[in-house]
Structure 1
Amino acid sequence: MNKLKILVKITLIYLAILKTSSAMTFDRDYLTNFIKSHVESHITAPIQGTLLIDVSQIDPRISLQACLSPLQANIPEKHNGRNVNVKIVCSDEKPWHLFVPVKIQTIMPILVTSMRITKGTLLDNSNTEVILKDRAQIRGTVLSEAKIVIGARSKRNLSKGSAITNKNICFVCKGQPVSIIAKSAGFEIKSSGTAMRDGSLGDVISVKNDKSGRLVRGQVNAINQVIINL
């Protein structure tokens, strides 16, 4: 009987040692990379955008415990997209958890002026450039491709580095000649006219048909061009 008790004790000690040795230990670099990978796989960057993920340094006073179970990471459903407290969970018999702040920046391409330009300036590759900027610092709808605005004109004076938007440029400018395209599913008619006011992409403006003298309304869809859908 005594031999049996001794055998049981030895077995239990062995199992305890085996359990302890199979528990995974973590250093701070491992946890940082684990959190970063989890954020990258659960927060999607917008089209043309990239994410910059900065995991806060884990307090050196915190003792990182081993864990038999695979670590789990949770991101709160409600977060502002820039600051997230990621919860790390170990679901052992003696569970533990840890909150780690993470800062997320969404970097977007944005078209800006590469020099100071005055009202009425024609935009081209010499006075525009695309830079990367934190989306939190971007106000309103911006453009991201220079080729879209080549031939447009500035509606006001713009300092170097100003974001180029539909509000500060005109694709069709008042008093300038425009191409009018009236089309339906079966045919298309082209004529020339004069813009009665400034317009940017998507704006519906009045133009005067040079041949008939009639005022018509069309949607700006390119530089000096409006479309009338019949």
Structure 2
Amino acid sequence: MTAAMQDHEIVRKLAADFLYHQAKAQTGETTITMGQVDKRLNLAACQSPVAFLPSGSKAWGKITVGVRCTAPVNWVIYLQANVQITSEYYVASRTLSQGQLVVPDDMSKIKGDISNLPAGIVTNPEQVLGKSLQSSVSSGTPLRVDLFRSPAVVQQGQSVRVVSNGPGFQVATDAQALNNAAEGQVAKARTSNGQTISGIAKAGGIIEITY
């Protein structure tokens, strides 16, 4: 008796559905173009084939997606696919300088394929407004979140207020900041008696220590 063979179209649909699910993590419209299964390939029918991405692969752009079977037989095949994600994102509307604080006029919203752009593309201006650039960018450059840093709320040499909190007590003392720190980062300071302390930088020149 001839063994049942796997329908190639079921394999392609499984892979496409898997890629659509993966692409949901991205904001935008998804278009998937699936390659064909080699017609010369005779695969035994599989009870529950499973689609997967090879280790280290991203889920968009020109990619390879795998489908494996473990019962009643073992086989693995790979298909080529192109996952295009069209979404709105932001580019520099003019040349921006290192250290510059970004305002709305510094950004322009465009719509295009983001599948081949680097990770961390800015899709919402609130992600970067009021932050400063770590390096200069030219006009038209897609903006990435990792190009920016939050402004320092504690600056080296500044007089700061160190607030220590613990169960049933709060103590505050003046000190001098030893480093720059954005809100939520670790800041160090030296108190009037020469003691060096570390705490969390807060807006208003405050370093908070929680016990």
The code of the aligned residue for 1:57 comes to Q
Q: Is the aligned partner of 1:79 residue 2:55?
A: yes
Deviation at 1:172, TM superposition (A): 0.3
User: Do the aligned partners of residues 184 and 39 (structure 1) sit closer, same or farther apart at CA in structure 2, a change above 3 Å counting?
Assistant: same
Alignment of 1:55-94 (within 5 A): 55-59=34-38, 61-62=39-40, 71-75=47-51, 79-82=55-58, 83-87=64-68, 91=72
Partner AA of 1:37 in structure 2: D
- The match for 1:198 is 180
Segments of structure 1 that go 5 or more residues without pairing to the other structure are 1-15, 17-22
RMSD: 5.5
Task: Evaluate the alpha carbon distance shift between residue 39 and residue 149 of structure 1 in structure 2; reply closer, same or farther with a 3 A threshold.
Answer: closer
Change (3 A) 1:119 1:137: closer
The aligned residue for residue 152 of structure 2 is: 172
Q: Which has the higher strand share?
A: 2
Partner Cα separation in structure 2 for residue 145 and residue 204 of structure 1: 27
Using the size of structure 1 for normalisation, the TM-score is: 0.50
> Of residues 99, 111, 117 in structure 2, which corresponds to 1:120?
99
- Higher helix content, 1 or 2: 1
Alignment partners' CA distance in 2, 1:143 and 1:195: 32
| Percent of paired sites with the same residue | 14
Gaps of 5+ in 2: 59-63
Q: Which residue number in structure 2 is paired with residue 219 of structure 1?
A: 200
Relative to structure 1, the CA distance from residue 203 to residue 126 in structure 2 (aligned partners, 3 Å threshold; closer, same or farther) is: same
1:229 partner letter: T
CA distance in 1, matches of 2:69, 2:179: 58
- For the residue of structure 2 that corresponds to 1:58, the secondary structure is coil
Deviation at 1:128, TM superposition (A): 4.6
1:80-125 CA distances to partner (integer Å, 9 max, x unpaired)?
A: 334332136885xxx7967242558697998765542113322233
Contact 1:111 1:129 in 2 (8 A): yes
Name the residue aligned to 2:165: 184
Paired residues of 2:91 and 2:109 also in contact (CA < 8 A): yes
Distance 2:159 2:125 in 1: 21
Larger Rg: 1
After TM superposition, the score normalised by the length of structure 2 is 0.53
